[in-house]
Amino acid sequence: MPSKDAKKKLKEYAAKRDFKKTPEPGPEAPAPKPKKAKPLQFAVQKHLASHLHYDLRLEHNGVLLSWAVPKGPSLNPADKRMAVRTEDHPFMYVEFEGVIPSGYGAGVMALWDRGTWEPAQGFEDVGKALAKGELKFSPNGVKLKGSWVLVRIRRKDEESRQEQWLMIKHRDEWAGDVDITTFAPQSVKTFGDLANILAGSKHANAFEHGAPVQGGETGKLFRKVISDAKALAAKPTALKTSKKKTAKKAAPKKTSKARK
Ligand code: MN
């Protein structure tokens, strides 16, 4: 609704015109309803594949800008986490969690954080920021909040097939010393960790004849996830915890209060 003052101004506007004669809009012409801009979506996926890493996804122009962060995000502004720019992903990937049984990215992926994001003031032109190699932004996830920056430190060249960036937390009330990847390792979608996701997947047996990676730390981690998943599958109650929770939430309450 226009304010009193605006109405007065509109009266002045109207007084100067004969709307039977001018094609200009009259003072009562309704303004179009402001289009509520849909907030941009944000996710981080914890992905055990050729190695454990965290995939940062920021919605932009209908796709997800993506960076693979080997050590995962850190809330400590002193940490500069390597973030390798990877190919844009389709928008729907923002909800994905599950087992990739074979091929590219084979392994287990947890939706580790999820929410919305916005570019910082002065970085609203995200395309320009990417071209320049600096994007200040604020995720509003479950685990990651406040002000962050992505800074490109290396362009694609003959030696480096992918752009290298750093992901850094700015000092604010959401910064801190807590190691967020170990403090909050689980999925924000199903509340379990990688083993729960593997155990609950239709591809639960995908790695029965061997993990996608055998050697080193990654091989060790795969073996642990696979054996933990087997143990979980052997006692179904442990598996169903998160499903029960969801079912409870979805079930209508029987009290009259809930019906209002
Ligand atoms: Mn990945």
pLDDT per residue over 181-194, tens digit each?
A: 999 999 999 999 99
Q: What are the strands, taking DSSP E only, across the chain?
A: 40-48, 52-60, 63-69, 81-90, 98-100, 107-119, 134-140, 148-154, 164-169
Distance from Cα 89 to the centre of ligand 1, integer Å:
11
Distance from Cα 50 to the centre of ligand 1, integer Å:
9
Q: Is the pLDDT of residue 250 over 50?
A: no
Express each pLDDT in 20-36 by its tens digit: 888 888 888 777 777 77
Place of tokens 């080193």: 216
What DSSP element (H or E) covers 208? none
To the question of pTM greater than 0.75 for the whole model, the response is: yes
Helix (H, G, I), strand (E, B) or coil at 28: coil
Q: Is the pLDDT of residue 226 over 80?
A: yes
Distance from Cα 16 to the centre of ligand 1, integer Å:
64
pLDDT score, position 189 = 97
Distance from Cα 87 to the centre of ligand 1, integer Å:
10
Residues 189, 44: Cα–Cα separation, whole Å: 12
Distance from Cα 224 to the centre of ligand 1, integer Å:
19
Averaged over 217-244, what is the pLDDT? Answer: 82
End-to-end C-alpha distance for the chain, whole angstroms: 31
On whether the CB atoms of residues 93 and 65 are closer than 8 A, the answer is: no
Distance from Cα 4 to the centre of ligand 1, integer Å:
56
pLDDT score, position 32 = 76
Mean pLDDT of the chain: 89
Residues 77, 167: Cα–Cα separation, whole Å: 10
Express each pLDDT in 35-46 by its tens digit: 778 899 999 999
Torsion of Cα atoms, 223 then 51 then 194 then 90, to 10°:
-140
* Burial 221-246, CB ≥16 within 10 A → b, else e: bbeebbebbeebbeeeeebeebeeee
